[in-house]
């Protein structure tokens, strides 16, 4: 399951910071040239980026060992991450001093911009102590794509999707709506290649980490009702948590912002118990005794397990199972009849088969799915249901206006000055605010973006590998009028 772990890490780091639009590939980065006049943090960041994108695996791992000796990732994990970063191209330096740098990088894989944060030791040899990727913004020296009228936008999106389908990179469904008026809603490609069953707007696609948005809404609903304090330690709601020291130090808010230090659950232990991990309590029983990876609130690291724990909090506070709570309080009020988390063993005629590329061949990705959807991901939905979810949020039907605002703008400032946002918190696309969530794993790629300033909602769901949903979302977001 290492590949799933890495896919989750890469997708997650891309979802934590403001997100810019993409540009066409003609605006790619300046060449990586001489480093002599750069501050040490910039030099090391650019050396690391060059090692990721050039040379063989052995030389890449030597570079990791030499300039990032304290990395927490194993060589195998680095080699799994490397292909996801292979098309990163250095563009420029946003900010830098001797020990910190913010590098603007173009990602040709998604036609989008990435921000790389680099921290190095203050003295030679200036070893890297932190290296992370986040959504970036289009640099000022790069022309923005033209904004299009609705009819022009739909025509351009249809042409873009046609190119991706013809190249066999996309199969799925796309929806664009404004003021609850649908401008485009269509399925493309096949939901089941063996049965030759086409995708439609009613196809249920796995949405990966998008389930976290539903978990966040549930937590905010309980806070709004006065049943839960976001600043309270976990032990208040889960007094029997397997590691009392962890439960007394981690707050609900730190779970929401991925700053809890609880880490992930993918790996050998998950593989060994996969079929037995059905409900949040099963995950907590298995992974709860573990120590923290870092002091809560000190930094941010994507934590699928943290959202499993949030789901367990929902159960403990509400007295309902996580699935029942969502049906009563999220899916029901939003009229999301086709969204859920039924096990993979249950045959669902409208659920798409996921397909991934492996060794140059397309194959089903069913062996990489969790047993059933969880508070951290793995459920399914349709483009129509997700539009209904967006409209319910925009009209304050799931939360009142104050808590909707908190959900979509909340977060915490970490000691290093960066903002750890809630998963559903706002981001920026070429100066325009949106909020939403993405999901990505083997054979599944999903993204929803909600633009409150002009009431646009864009949903892309695919039964193909990431980052195809992000590619199309970036293309559409860039050109919204």
Which CATH number is associated with domain 146-481? 3.40.710.10
Q: Contact, 111 vs 471, CB < 8 A?
A: yes
- Asked if residue 118 has pLDDT above 50, the reply is yes
With a CB cutoff of 8 Å and minimum separation 6, the contacts of 452 are 394, 408, 433, 434, 435
- Rounded CA-CA distance 124/120 in Å is 10
- The pLDDT value recorded for residue 84 is 79
Q: At what angle do helices 468-479 and 150-166 cross, to 10 degrees?
A: 160
Listed in sequence order, the DSSP H helices in 319-454 are 322-326, 332-334, 383-394, 401-409
Q: Reduced to 3 states, what is the DSSP secondary structure of residue 68?
A: coil
User: Residue range 116-142: average pLDDT?
Assistant: 89
The pTM for the full model equals 0.81
Six-digit token string for 57: 């695996």
**Domain spans, the chain:** 22-135, 146-481
- The pLDDT value recorded for residue 368 is 62
- Asked if residue 14 has pLDDT above 60, the reply is no
Q: Reduced to 3 states, what is the DSSP secondary structure of residue 307?
A: helix
- Rounded CA-CA distance 253/475 in Å is 33
- Asked if residue 108 has pLDDT above 60, the reply is yes
- Asked if residue 33 has pLDDT above 70, the reply is no
User: Residue range 95-104: average pLDDT?
Assistant: 93
Same fold, 22-135 and 146-481: no
- Rounded CA-CA distance 423/211 in Å is 10
User: pLDDT tens, 429-443?
Assistant: 666 789 999 998 889
Q: Reduced to 3 states, what is the DSSP secondary structure of residue 467?
A: coil
Q: Which of 13-17, 117-121, 286-290, 459-463 has the lowest mean pLDDT?
A: 13-17
User: pLDDT tens, 308-367?
Assistant: 999 999 999 999 999 999 999 999 999 999 999 998 888 899 999 999 887 778 889 866
Topology of domain 22-135 in CATH is Nuclear Transport Factor 2; Chain: A, (3.10.450)
Element (H, E) at 357: strand 355-358
- The pLDDT value recorded for residue 240 is 96
- The pLDDT value recorded for residue 36 is 64
User: pLDDT tens, 237-290?
Assistant: 999 999 999 999 999 999 999 999 999 998 889 888 988 899 999 999 999 999
With a CB cutoff of 8 Å and minimum separation 6, the contacts of 301 are 258, 259, 261, 263, 293, 294
Cα 272 from chain centroid? 25
User: pLDDT tens, 394-412?
Assistant: 999 999 999 999 999 989 8
User: Residue range 30-57: average pLDDT?
Assistant: 80
């Amino acid at each position: 399951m290492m590949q799933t772990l890495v896919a989750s890490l890469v997708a997650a780091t891309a979802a934590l910071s403001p997100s810019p639009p993409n540009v066409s590939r003609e605006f790619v980065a300046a060449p990586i040239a001489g480093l002599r006049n750069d501050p040490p943090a910039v030099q090391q960041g650019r050396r690391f980026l060059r090692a990721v994108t050039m040379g063989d695996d052995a030389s890449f791992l030597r570079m990791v060992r030499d300039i990032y000796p304290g990395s927490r990732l194993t060589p195998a994990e680095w080699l799994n991450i490397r292909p996801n970063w292979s098309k990163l191209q250095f563009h420029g330096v946003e900010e830098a001093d001797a020990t910190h740098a913010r590098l603007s990088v173009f990602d040709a894989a998604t036609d989008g911009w990435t921000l790389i944060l680099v921290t190095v030791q203050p003295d030679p040899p200036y070893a890297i102590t932190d290296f992370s990727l986040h959504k970036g913004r289009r640099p000022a020296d790069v022309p923005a794509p033209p904004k299009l009228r609705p009819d022009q936008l739909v025509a351009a999106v249809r042409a873009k999707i046609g190119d991706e389908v013809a190249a066999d990179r996309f199969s799925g469904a796309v929806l664009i709506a404004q003021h609850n008026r649908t401008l485009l809603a269509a399925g493309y490609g096949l939901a089941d290649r063996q049965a030759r069953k086409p995708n439609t707007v009613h196809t249920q696609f796995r949405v990966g980490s998008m389930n976290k948005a539903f978990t966040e809404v549930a937590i905010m609903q309980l806070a709004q009702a006065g049943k839960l304090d976001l600043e309270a330690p976990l032990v208040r709601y889960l007094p029997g948590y397997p590691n009392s020291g962890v439960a007394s130090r981690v707050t609900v808010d730190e779970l929401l912002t991925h700053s809890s230090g609880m880490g992930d659950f993918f790996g050998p232990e998950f593989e060994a118990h996969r079929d037995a991990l059905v409900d949040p309590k099963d995950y907590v029983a298995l992974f709860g005794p573990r120590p923290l990876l870092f002091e809560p609130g000190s930094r941010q690291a994507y934590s699928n397990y943290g959202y499993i724990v949030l789901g367990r909090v929902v159960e403990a506070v509400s007295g309902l199972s996580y699935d029942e709570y969502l049906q009563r309080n999220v899916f029901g009020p939003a009229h999301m009849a086709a969204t859920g988390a039924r096990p993979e063993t249950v045959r669902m005629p409208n659920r798409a088969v996921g397909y991934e590329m492996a060794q140059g061949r397309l194959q089903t990705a069913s062996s990489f799915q969790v047993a059933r959807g969880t508070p951290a991901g793995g459920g399914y939905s349709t483009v129509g249901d997700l539009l209904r979810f967006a409209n319910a949020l925009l009209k304050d039907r799931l939360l009142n206006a104050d808590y909707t605002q908190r959900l979509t703008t909340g977060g915490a400032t970490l000691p290093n000055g960066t903002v750890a946002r809630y998963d559903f918190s706002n981001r920026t696309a070429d100066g325009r605010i949106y909020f939403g969530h993405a999901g990505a794993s083997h054979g599944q790629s999903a993204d929803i973006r909600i633009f409150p300033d002009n009431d646009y909602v864009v949903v892309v769901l695919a039964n193909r590998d990431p980052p195809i949903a992000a590619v199309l979302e970036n293309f559409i977001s860039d050109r919204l009028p």
